[in-house]
Structure 1
C-alpha cells in the first residue's frame, strides 16, 4: 500500500496505490469524493478528493505514511461512498540496508548482474542490477517492492530478460542525496551499516 500526496501539483487529492496495473487497461469509477481505479480483475488504487476535509493533519510532497487513525478515516470514506474492501497501512521501511550475498552475471546480458541480497532477519531478495560496481560482500541501499523513489517511480516486482527481480539496488543519485556523484554506480555503504535497518539518507 502506497500513499502519495502533493497538494501543489495535483490539488487536495490523496492517491492510494494498492497494486500494479502493469500494461492492463484500467477503468475509473467515482462515487462522491472517492474514485476507484481497477483493471478487469483487481483494484489498483483509489483517489480521495478534498482529503483535507476529513484528514486535517495531512502533510507531504510525494509519498506519505499514514497513521492507523488516518487510514481508518479513509476506510470510512470508502464505506460511506459504497465501495467494498478496506485499506491497511504498511509502514514497514521500504528503503533498507542490504548485504549482497551473491552476485553473478546475467546469462542473457553483458552488463546485468543477478544478486541475492539479505535485507532483514535472513530474508533474501533476488534483484537484477545493472550497476557496474555491484559486488558480492557489499552493503547497499535496497528499495523493496512498494517503495516510491524521489522521482515518483514505484518499485514493483519485475522481470529483466527472463529473470525475476524483487526490488532495486539504489545509487546516490536515484536517492536524490546531496552531492551525489554523476558517475553511474550504486551507493556502497560503510561496513558498520546494519543489515535490515531503514536507510534514512
Structure 2
C-alpha cells in the first residue's frame, strides 16, 4: 500500500507517504530531509515525510491533496531514501481503492438497532464484509465501495475496523462522502444505476460528477 498526500498551503513543502496504519508503538527518526515513522516493536515502516519535496520529486507543482505517484516519482523518492540511509522500499500502488460493488447479503447487526452487516461483491469472486449504518442500504444495490487504503476527499483513510464488535473491511459511500458536485445533504449511500456500471470496475469520479443536477 502506498498513499501519498501533498498540500503546500496546509503543510508546506512536505510530501507525506503512508504505507500502513498507525500503531500505538509508533516512533520516528529523521535523516537529512526524510522522516521515517515506524513501529518500535516490529520495526515495520508506517510511512515517511519528505521535506522540501518539490525540489527532489517531479511534478508536484500545483498539486493539492492525494497524489497518485508515478513510477518516476517513486524512483525519485527511493533515491532520497537511499541517500538518507533508509531502505528504498517504496513501490507504485496502482490498485483502485474506489470500486463498484454489489450488495449480495445484508443482515441486522446483533448489537445495534441501525447498523447492518453486508456481504459486498467487489470483484470476480471477492467479497468484503462491511458494516454500514446508512438508512437506505439494501440488498441488490450497486454501490461505491472505498476499499482499505482509500483516501477520502476529506483526507480520512479507510482502514480495517470493528463496529460494535463486528469486523468491517471498507466503506459503502454516500455521494457527499465522495465529494460529488450537488450531492444530496440527507444521509444515505449512493446507489448507482446497475446497467451503467460493472462490478469491480474502478469508480470514475469524473464520470459521476454529472449524476446530480444543480438546482
TM-score norm. by structure 1 comes to 0.95
Of 124, 127, 131, which aligns to 1:128?
Answer: 131
Q: Does 1:144 align with 2:147?
A: yes
Q: Which residue of 2 aligns with 1:20?
A: 21
Q: 1:106 is matched with which residue?
A: 109
Deviation per CA, 1:106-140, whole angstroms, max 9, x where unpaired?
11111110001111122111100010111110000
The match for 1:173 among 169, 176, 188 is 176
Moved more, 123-132 or 49-58: 49-58
Distance in 1, Cα, partners of 2:30 & 2:68: 24
Structure 1 residue 27: Cα displacement: 1.6
**Per-residue deviation at 1:145?**
0.5
1:47 alignment partner in structure 2: 49
Hey, what does 1:56 align to over in structure 2? 58
Q: Secondary structure of 1:126's partner?
A: strand
Asked whether the 8 Å contact 2:79–2:88 carries over to 1, the reply is no
Matches of 1:149 and 1:159, distance apart in 2: 19
Q: Tell me the SS of whatever aligns to 2:162.
A: strand
SS of match in other structure, 1:134: coil
Distance in 1, Cα, partners of 2:88 & 2:48 = 11
Q: How far apart are residue 85 of structure 1 and its match?
A: 4.8
- Once the two structures are TM-superposed, the CA of residue 92 in structure 1 deviates from its matched residue by 1.4
Listed one character per residue, the Cα deviations across residues 133-174 of structure 1 (whole Å, up to 9, x for unaligned) are 111100000000010000100000111111111000000111
Q: What corresponds to 1:33 in structure 2?
A: 33
Q: Which runs of 5+ in 1 are unaligned?
A: none
Count of residue correspondences: 200
Structure 1 residue aligned with 2:202: 198
Computed over aligned residues only, the root mean square deviation of the Cα atoms, in angstroms, reads 1.2
> After the TM superposition, which parts of structure 1 deviate over 6 Å for at least 4 consecutive aligned residues?
none
Aligned to 2:9: 8
Task: In structure 2, list runs of 5 or more residues that go unmatched.
Answer: 206-215
User: What are the within-5 Å matches in structure 2 for residues 69-80 of structure 1?
Assistant: 69-80=72-83
TM-score (norm 2): 0.89
Q: 2:122 aligns with which of 119, 128, 133?
A: 119
Cα distance in 2 for residues equivalent to 1:180 and 1:130: 18
Distance 1:61 1:69 in 2: 19
